[in-house]
Structure 1
Amino acid sequence: MKKIKLFLIGVCTVIGMVTVGASSAEPVTYSGLAAFIDALPTEPSILDFDLMPTGMTIEDSESAGGITFKYDFDGLPMKVAHLYATTSAPNFLGTGDSGMFHDGDNFILSFPPGHGIGLFFISADPLLDGDISVTAGSVTAELIAENIHATLADGSRVYFVGIIDAQTAMTSAYIEALEGGFFLYNVDDIITAPLSETLAADSDPDKPLQIAVKL
């Protein structure tokens, strides 16, 4: 089993030491990062966009950081941006429209077979339950408005949405932002859980894996 240390920089030092390996026979949805990480059956892989150039575009069906992004925003591209506060500074994912996603901007993430998908949604607008959802396989996890992961320096609120299926591997997730909700949002720290055989052969099972979420 791999131990994972969770950091919340700027909010607290360490929120917990959890161990990968706890699992459920049925798919489970999550609105909290710590519970999600604790339940992962394999090590997580995190795409935080921070090693990508600011302003880099991710075109429809293009891959970045091991994930393929499929979308149709009427000609508007996805873009790596840094204009606002985020969970893991400096970069986050948005669009060519001032670095923001709009309600109705839905997209598909495709990734190597794995048992989990989770990500942060950041918005300065008031959100309602279900305004944003993540669907993988037959399971849908919805944003829960009262479950705010953190409030950033600019007043934006952070929400986590995730799914774990410890029995059946998933390869894609559909992200839906309810059209007509009249809100803007960003995405950061996309977490997947690749099958154990896809992990590095020289991985040390006793070495803690640190996940830094900067707030």
Structure 2
Amino acid sequence: MNPYRDRVDAGEVLAASVAEIVPDGADAVVLGLPRGGVPVAAAVARALGAPLDVLVVRKLGVPGSPEVAMGAIASVGGELAIVANDDLRERVAAYSGPDAWAEVLSHERVELERRVTEYRGDRPPLALEGRTVVLVDDGIATGATMRAAAAAARQLRPSRLIAASPVVLTGARAAVEASVDALICPWFPAAFLGVGQAYRDFTQTSDGEVRRLLS
């Protein structure tokens, strides 16, 4: 499979796959994981005729290697959900000290709360209870971010929880599938080093772009 042109192109391809699983007229809600997941989610929401919202998630990166996730946190309905890679967390504690996890968690929680306010303001989140919820990100590498999003969304009792992404690295597939009712992905590459390799244009999505799409 060739790389996606950009997140909009990836979202349109993903939307076709999601539409095969989520029937017309389903009471669905599409939640994008900021920031990069929101342009992808917007295309999926348009295809389904479903409302779009965000579920704010922050990766808990390894000190010195922030792209490597030792866990993730997510906010939904005012509650915090935490997912940890316990094996990696223990290795980080041995290498960086016993306070490394707490320090990263504290820092990322501040940023998570900032983004919730930045993107949603005073607008309450969409009701999820009894609805089909589609969680969308622009790519899944370790699965920690999507698993945290799924754990948070479960707290609001959706009838069905679906994870959807244009690209999922093979090592993350099983963990994500175990956390949701279905995983939808058109591309499971075996040899990628990172999600960015699946895109010709992987320019960072801005806060302004997220706000524009949500409006």
With structure 1 as the length reference, what TM-score do the two structures score?
0.30
In terms of fraction of residues, the more strand-rich structure is: 1
In terms of fraction of residues, the more helix-rich structure is: 2
With structure 2 as the length reference, what TM-score do the two structures score?
0.30
